[in-house]
Chain A
Amino acid sequence: MKVTEKDVKYIAQLSRLAVPQAELEIFTEQFNQILNYAEIMKKIDTTGIEPTPYVLPISNAFREDIVKPGVSHEAALQNAPAVEKDGFKVPRVIE
């Protein structure tokens, strides 16, 4: 399976990234290098093997539902690149 520059652009779009033209060729090459290497996984038959998303057998971690103070508006907005009134300001979403 070979990933093309067009595929890389599509994946970038899904990732909310742009690939600068200067990087497109090298990115595509590195992508294929890694995916070619991934072919070794085919050597193992994993039929019926449970996947391991987490190593420890923890399921729901419950705690008491106690009201605690949250983050203040002031603190939440402290690192915002742009603020208007009491909110985060972004460029127009709907024309």
Chain B
Amino acid sequence: MKLYELTAHELHKKLVKKEISSVELTNALYKRIYEVEDKVNAYVTLDKEVALVQAAKVDKKLAAGEAIPTLAGIPGAIKDNISTLGLRTTCSSKILSNFVPIYDAHVIKKLRTDETIFLGKTNMDEFAMGSTTESSFFGATRNPWNLNRVPGGSSGGSAAAIAAGEAIWTLGSDTGGSIRQPAAFNGCVGIKPTYGRVSRFGCVAFASSLDQIGPITKDVTDAAIVLNTICGKDEQDATSLNVEVPDFTKALVPDVKGLRIGLPKEYFGAGIDQKVKAEIEKAVKKYQELGAEIVEISLPHTEYAVITYYIIAPAEASANLARFDGVRYGYRNMEATSTPEMVTLSRTEGFGAEVRRRIMLGTYVLSSGYYDAYYNKAMQIRTLIRRDFEEAFQKCDVILTPTSPVVAYPLDGKMDPLQIYMLDVTTIPVNMAGLPGISIPCGFADGMPVGMQLIGKILDEATILRAAYTFEQATEYHKVFAPLGGNNK
């Protein structure tokens, strides 16, 4: 076993037993990054010098016999829309390509307290708007399972880094599936916590009522460990919840006897790849063998989720991205002779096509005369989507669905935006209702990983973690490594 193939909890034991040092581990990860990064392009920025200084600090503590947190000395990576003090944070956009934050995101502060190691910042769709990581200003990330396929998105770099052994754990953000879908496409574990569980302070805002930070890891145990660190009330985020954060590792019990798992019929209908469906059905059977009770449920407003999202998210984005004006930070067109011209040209040249399209769509649906027909109507349908889940959870404890109706598709730009948007139908409703959702590997189709999504009740991450852990311990999918090649032409 190579060090980069191990999980955080395995490496923590090795550090404590002094079988390895954090400096050795961090160097091993950078060596791996240098080996594969020209194929994968998971990173935007590396921070080796600082990482090694931090690793040496942890080694010193270990040498002195001090106790360390589980993530101490374990190298991870951060999606490039999460603010890191002194380390460039670009959102994979030209407009922030030189931006160096003057403060840490809340989650970064918490991870620093745990003395973890940041290898660098991972690639993403520009401003997290996309499902393929193709819209990055720094070039597309490739899927380590097949370099001709997309890694998913928008946290494609964070998921590909895990699959390629370029990080032990990573952070992503999820507005409509941006943690879970790339986790599924890369055979990783990804969890979007309940809205409000994790502070959004320092996460560059896309759609504030939907955004949530969460981990992408190699197994469920590591996901619980990272969650333990990043969750919790933060007064700098007014939507952060003042609720007790349980020890999520306590939920890692291999037992689903009597657990009621709901299967929403709307998620298995038209549009799902039959091979993906077959893998999900196998997973359902596994749960039955393990003692879970399978219940048929209905989420009748599912067909409206995608359009509702593509009205609400751009509306919020158009307001959030108004701050990029070339005045205080970011890219500026230097030729403009007036301030209004400078603002317009800086934004037009600084944002990519998808971001501009969404800002304009959002501006349109909020503009006078269209607000009620589009934005308000979408918010009303959001209420109905939320109620669907409330009713479904009367009959079951968790909901099981495919994370995506398809496996990772070829990186050839052949699909139009709407076709790609439609594939988000399995993940979007979870953000709409603010629920926690996890994706775990559950099989392969055409040589690509298939992800299964487990959706929980508000603040009930524990139950989906338990269900995910039980399946993981009874299967081997999470132990298969990406070949990093495939049909690389």
Contact = CB atoms under 8 A, between A and B. Distances in A.
Interface of A: 3, 8, 11-12, 14-20, 23, 27, 30-31, 33-34, 37-38, 40-41, 44, 46, 49-56, 58, 61, 63, 71, 75-76, 78-82, 88, 90-93
B339 A93 contact: yes
Contacts of A12: 360
B327 A79 contact: no
B351 A17 contact: yes
Interface in B362-380: 363-364, 367, 374, 376-380
A3 B322 CA distance: 23
A16 B339 contact: no
B318 interface: yes
Contacts, number: 155
B367 A14 contact: yes
Interface stretch (B109-117, B216-224, B287-295, B302-310): B302-310
Given A15-B360, A79-B329, A34 B434 contact: no
A49 to B, nearest CB: 4
A51 B379 CA distance: 5
B475 interface: no
B394 interface: no
B296 interface: no
Contact of B336 (A17, A20, A23, A91): A91
> How many interface residues does chain B have, given as a range?
35 or more
Contact of B195 (A40, A44, A56): A56
Nearest to A20: B348
B299 to A, nearest CB: 14
Contact of A56 (B329, B432, B434): B434
24 contacts: A15-B347, A16-B322, A17-B344, A17-B347, A17-B360, A30-B416, A34-B310, A41-B307, A41-B381, A46-B380, A51-B379, A56-B196, A56-B241, A56-B434, A61-B239, A76-B102, A79-B102, A79-B329, A79-B330, A82-B332, A90-B327, A91-B338, A91-B342, A92-B339
Contacts of A81: 326-327, 329-332, 334
B325 interface: yes
Contacts of A8: 360
Interface string B392-405: 00000000000000
Interface string B16-52: 0000000000000000000000000000000000000
Contacts of B280: none
Contact of B102 (A3, A14, A38, A71): A71
A90 B357 contact: no
Contacts of B304: 40-41, 44
Contact of A92 (B338, B364, B382): B338
Contacts of B311: 38
B369 to A, nearest CB: 11
Contacts of B331: 81
Nearest to B336: A91
A42 to B, nearest CB: 8
A33 B307 CA distance: 11
Given A34-B418, A46-B381, A81-B327, 9 more contacts: A17-B348, A27-B357, A31-B357, A33-B418, A40-B303, A55-B386, A75-B102, A80-B329, A92-B337
Contacts of B330: 79, 81
Given A46-B377, A63-B235, A91-B337, A16 B344 contact: yes
B238 interface: yes
Nearest to B335: A91
A54 B209 contact: yes
Contact of A16 (B343, B357, B376): B343
Given A40-B307, A79-B330, A81-B326, A49 B383 contact: yes
Contacts of B328: 76, 79-80, 88
A58 B196 contact: yes
The 8 closest A-B pairs by CB, nearest first: A55-B434, A51-B379, A79-B329, A81-B332, A46-B380, A61-B238, A52-B382, A75-B102
